[in-house]
Structure 1
């Protein structure tokens, strides 16, 4: 075989040996050898190959596949602008610790910097946004390369998974291929060394996971709340329940359930009551990103801030953390001991939370028009145990945070695990909170989700930004995914921010509101995607109950009254919990 084919086959074989089960490729010329090798692995049932014509959509599809499967997923593309289009997904994977394997094809060294077609500098193209970079030279017909290629795959995958430093994330292999780029197994010249891997399908390099957990014990005494941001898990809920502390959990935390979880907690903090001012210690899991009241709380000088982080980096924009730990527990609560009826501190929070929930329900019930808050609450309520919900940035994820009530997921043991049959999984691209690639992320997530139905809740701009994600060839797997598009014909979130104030109304609609007037039904028809438009919550419930195949459900809403609605919600909660 020729050198390019040899390299590609060895790389793909070793990827399968180290546990890769999904791969994504965008068509091109320079990556042809990898395309043939991946196609062969797919035909043999060693992995499942996904093909997309748009590199940005392909990379976010890989991101979604990796997020849900928790396995590294390669995304493969040709050289030039194709590689550059992977950058947004690489950044998202970097900031959220997703093990993405980026494999960009390149020209050999002698064709770089000399004006060769479709050639740019791809060396360290993504800068410091990858955990590892390696420039793989063009293969040659000589000995000593099989071990190098296979060890490189093991090193790349273990680094992506964070086996040795507990810091998972994307890795970048920039791979030079020299023509011929297509297989020619009929060639008479034999390869000078064996290209086989270890016997019995074993991986070439076995990398053991580094385990260094120890418990940091927290003293009883300070009035404490637990905050669970994006990327947290049920350990946050476990701590809150064993210690008897209120839990303020974002939808994508994996901890927004149980008796201690508060509902519209950001409205409670915004009211700035004596109860909120009485907080003395905050324990943070994950990365909170959704509300300014939380940001202000974490920056308060009069609190003790404990960050629970297993990666080398931790979120502390206020530079206020006093302790960084991998695992924490309250003294005296090991093995679940110490659980009891709510004390005065927790009972006070549960009381104001109950009042806030009633106030939110009343304001939304009295609202004459359908809004994104109504839609988010309904989608969350209809999500069954085992279901998956991918939330778009901007308003959808924040609407869930305010309007969706915590679920009653069952905590099954003292290690903080939730029964997977009860668990509702909510995901979002919160690493940089962009709207890039959300449709593709949702599709990738749904393709590997197995426990229940999958939904996506996105705004119209987020949907349009990745409409290419709907383009699939006839050979590609079809997910069971219902995409709910809250269509307010523009950027509704900006109406709730400073630029949405009345004094900026002259410029607002053009440069922030950005109405587009796109006919989503026609767009869906162009990609042969089933489509429904619903006008009320009853129709939405019916549409959500038919969660088979890839479907789009559009919910038209009016954004003109959104700023006033949020003001009324804040005022109603403040009045309800006034001291």
Structure 2
């Protein structure tokens, strides 16, 4: 009854990990003709795989595991889903309640075990085949789906205690067909429109009207085409440039590019630019920006800061935003377009765009001279050369930061994905494979060697289900991001405890999982491998060995050159205006 209800509600995908206690759940899901199931042995990998499917489809995906420590294995993916508001319906099998704390095999206390990172928990208790018991199962399915999909979007957890027997040929009860018909007639829930604070909205619009200089920040999110068009129009009407985090995906596509300042992370290294920039108001959609220099600018800015997202989440580590409006971003843009009108400072805006273009040219000139061993060059090379529409999963740590630092705006229709909720490096490959499993587009993953190592088990899903994925493996033999942190001054301790070189031959692992392994030590060879692997529609890993120390120096050199050029231009403009 539970699985049939999920079918009616529109759930179409589920991952199942093997276990005896979950036998009734496994049978119910695999017998479904509408829900496609993926049997994945490693529970952690299965949960991240489900996360990827839910991220791509935007629809709740089910996760099925047995009792005991199997339940704990899926926690990392639930945490990520919680902070990124990805809809998962987590179904855990359990022993009967009376066996808790008795030493019974594979029995732990699963009662609301994910309580700190779940949107709703329900325990169904042992099966009750009366109308009251079965109707309660259906209503619970409705409640879980509603919460996960729209009421409080994110992961939900339902615990299923089962006593033996589990198999259909060992049944203990019979149910009359008229009862099943009666249960099937229970109406499906219908979503109610979300309300927002009109007074607060009107106050924000009033502030927009009186502000001549503003900034729109797009943090991580899977923005749809409607919002992208609406926020582009709002940006032009207000005269506010858009800083689009690489994780937002807004830098890629055919929408208006003239308002994007994708080089803000470079410009903020200029003291003169920060003095000139000074927006009066900042509108932030989506999650927390990736770059620390943007976060520091946000914290120190005297601008009025407004967070706008559907559930009123505080994506503001600085705690300086005074207004959080729980409203759908698209609805906000559309309503604000109808009302707001002001007098933007066009001279200021044009200067910002000019500075952004100058920073972009400096970046390009560096890239032309750089070798592929420079980590910052790799994401930009991927975005520049990948053909057609595609999904690109970007790993945490350096890949997402280098994408944010250096990715230029492109007309390529690239949909970016990332796990920026908790920003861990676990489950990255499995998430990418989950995305690819339900996507009609080619899928790519840009990842580092530590993240790849953390999820080698995930490659098995590519082999088992024939899921294609092109993996760009940036191998600096350890945690290269620590070269950019103060701990790098303590060489021996940093090398042994933070960077932790793996010294692994990844070729053997990839080939063991049926994948193709390629290496590239030049830009031309890399582009050749990239295009061939995307066309091949199979698991292909392209390894690029990089130098973390040298990459750190080159990043700093780019930022230094941008800062010196912008400082010079602003000084020159100020000198021209001084009376003699």
TM-score, normalised on structure 2? Answer: 0.88
**Distance in 1 between residues matched to 2:74 and 2:27, nearest whole Å:** 21
Q: Indicate which of 532, 543, 553 corresponds to 2:529.
A: 543
**What is the number of equivalent residue pairs in this alignment?**
544
Gaps of 5+ in 1: 1-9, 409-421
RMSD: 2.5
**Distance in 2 between residues matched to 1:329 and 1:575, nearest whole Å:** 37
Where do residues 167-178 of structure 1 align in structure 2 (5 Å cutoff)? 167-178=152-163
Q: Find the counterpart in structure 2 of residue 6 from structure 1.
A: none
Cα separation, partners in 2 of 1:168 and 1:71, compared to 1, 3 Å: same
Following superposition, the deviation at residue 110 of structure 1 comes to: 1.8
**Distance in 2 between residues matched to 1:403 and 1:297, nearest whole Å:** 18
Is the 1:73–1:99 Cα contact (8 Å) retained in structure 2?
Answer: yes
Q: Find the counterpart in structure 2 of residue 577 from structure 1.
A: 566
Where do residues 383-422 of structure 1 align in structure 2 (5 Å cutoff)? 383-408=386-411
**Distance in 2 between residues matched to 1:30 and 1:232, nearest whole Å:** 36
Is the 1:252–1:425 Cα contact (8 Å) retained in structure 2?
Answer: no
Is the 1:227–1:236 Cα contact (8 Å) retained in structure 2?
Answer: no
Q: Find the counterpart in structure 2 of residue 519 from structure 1.
A: 505
Partner of 1:168, secondary structure, is coil
Partner of 2:446, secondary structure, is strand
**Distance in 1 between residues matched to 2:285 and 2:165, nearest whole Å:** 51
**Distance in 1 between residues matched to 2:301 and 2:527, nearest whole Å:** 46
**Distance in 2 between residues matched to 1:195 and 1:231, nearest whole Å:** 44
Is the 2:278–2:301 Cα contact (8 Å) retained in structure 1?
Answer: no
**Distance in 2 between residues matched to 1:11 and 1:197, nearest whole Å:** 15
Following superposition, the deviation at residue 564 of structure 1 comes to: 1.2
Residue 563 in 1 paired to residue 552 in 2?
yes
Where do residues 180-199 of structure 1 align in structure 2 (5 Å cutoff)? 180-184=165-169, 190-191=174-175, 194=178, 196=180
Q: Indicate which of 360, 365, 368 corresponds to 1:365.
A: 368
**Distance in 1 between residues matched to 2:343 and 2:359, nearest whole Å:** 26
**Distance in 1 between residues matched to 2:72 and 2:186, nearest whole Å:** 31
Cα separation, partners in 2 of 1:315 and 1:112, compared to 1, 3 Å: same
Deviation by residue 1:458-477 (Cα, 9 ceiling, x = unmatched): 00100110111011397x53
Following superposition, the deviation at residue 385 of structure 1 comes to: 4.6
Deviation by residue 1:45-79 (Cα, 9 ceiling, x = unmatched): x1110011100000000000000101100100001
Q: Indicate which of 408, 413, 416 corresponds to 1:426.
A: 416
Cα separation, partners in 2 of 1:338 and 1:223, compared to 1, 3 Å: closer
Is the 2:100–2:108 Cα contact (8 Å) retained in structure 1?
Answer: yes
Residue 56 in 1 paired to residue 44 in 2?
yes
Q: Indicate which of 15, 19, 22 corresponds to 1:24.
A: 15
Q: Indicate which of 149, 168, 171 corresponds to 1:161.
A: 149
Greater fraction of residues in helix: 2
Partner of 2:376, secondary structure, is helix
Following superposition, the deviation at residue 324 of structure 1 comes to: 2.4
Q: Find the counterpart in structure 1 of residue 576 from structure 2.
A: none
Q: Indicate which of 68, 74, 86 corresponds to 1:86.
A: 74
Is the 1:284–1:308 Cα contact (8 Å) retained in structure 2?
Answer: yes
**Distance in 2 between residues matched to 1:446 and 1:198, nearest whole Å:** 40
Q: Find the counterpart in structure 1 of residue 492 from structure 2.
A: 506
Q: Find the counterpart in structure 1 of residue 238 from structure 2.
A: 243
Q: Indicate which of 448, 451, 458 corresponds to 2:438.
A: 448
Q: Indicate which of 9, 20, 34 corresponds to 2:25.
A: 34
Q: Find the counterpart in structure 2 of residue 470 from structure 1.
A: 459
**Distance in 2 between residues matched to 1:492 and 1:512, nearest whole Å:** 9
**Distance in 1 between residues matched to 2:391 and 2:47, nearest whole Å:** 20
Deviation by residue 1:225-260 (Cα, 9 ceiling, x = unmatched): 111111263254343233221111111213225221
Is the 1:24–1:51 Cα contact (8 Å) retained in structure 2?
Answer: yes
Following superposition, the deviation at residue 142 of structure 1 comes to: 3.8
Cα separation, partners in 2 of 1:33 and 1:568, compared to 1, 3 Å: same
Following superposition, the deviation at residue 277 of structure 1 comes to: 4.6
Q: Find the counterpart in structure 2 of residue 206 from structure 1.
A: 189
Is the 1:364–1:374 Cα contact (8 Å) retained in structure 2?
Answer: yes
Q: Find the counterpart in structure 2 of residue 416 from structure 1.
A: none
Larger deviation: 558-567 or 154-163?
558-567
Following superposition, the deviation at residue 333 of structure 1 comes to: 4.2
Cα separation, partners in 2 of 1:188 and 1:565, compared to 1, 3 Å: closer
Is the 2:371–2:522 Cα contact (8 Å) retained in structure 1?
Answer: no
Following superposition, the deviation at residue 276 of structure 1 comes to: 4.8
Q: Find the counterpart in structure 2 of residue 268 from structure 1.
A: 267
Cα separation, partners in 2 of 1:78 and 1:560, compared to 1, 3 Å: same
Is the 2:433–2:461 Cα contact (8 Å) retained in structure 1?
Answer: no
Cα separation, partners in 2 of 1:472 and 1:542, compared to 1, 3 Å: same
Cα separation, partners in 2 of 1:446 and 1:323, compared to 1, 3 Å: same
Q: Find the counterpart in structure 1 of residue 380 from structure 2.
A: 377
Is the 2:373–2:551 Cα contact (8 Å) retained in structure 1?
Answer: no
Following superposition, the deviation at residue 350 of structure 1 comes to: 0.8
**Distance in 2 between residues matched to 1:94 and 1:242, nearest whole Å:** 35
Q: Find the counterpart in structure 1 of residue 250 from structure 2.
A: 255
Deviation by residue 1:55-106 (Cα, 9 ceiling, x = unmatched): 0000000000000101100100001110001111111011000111111110
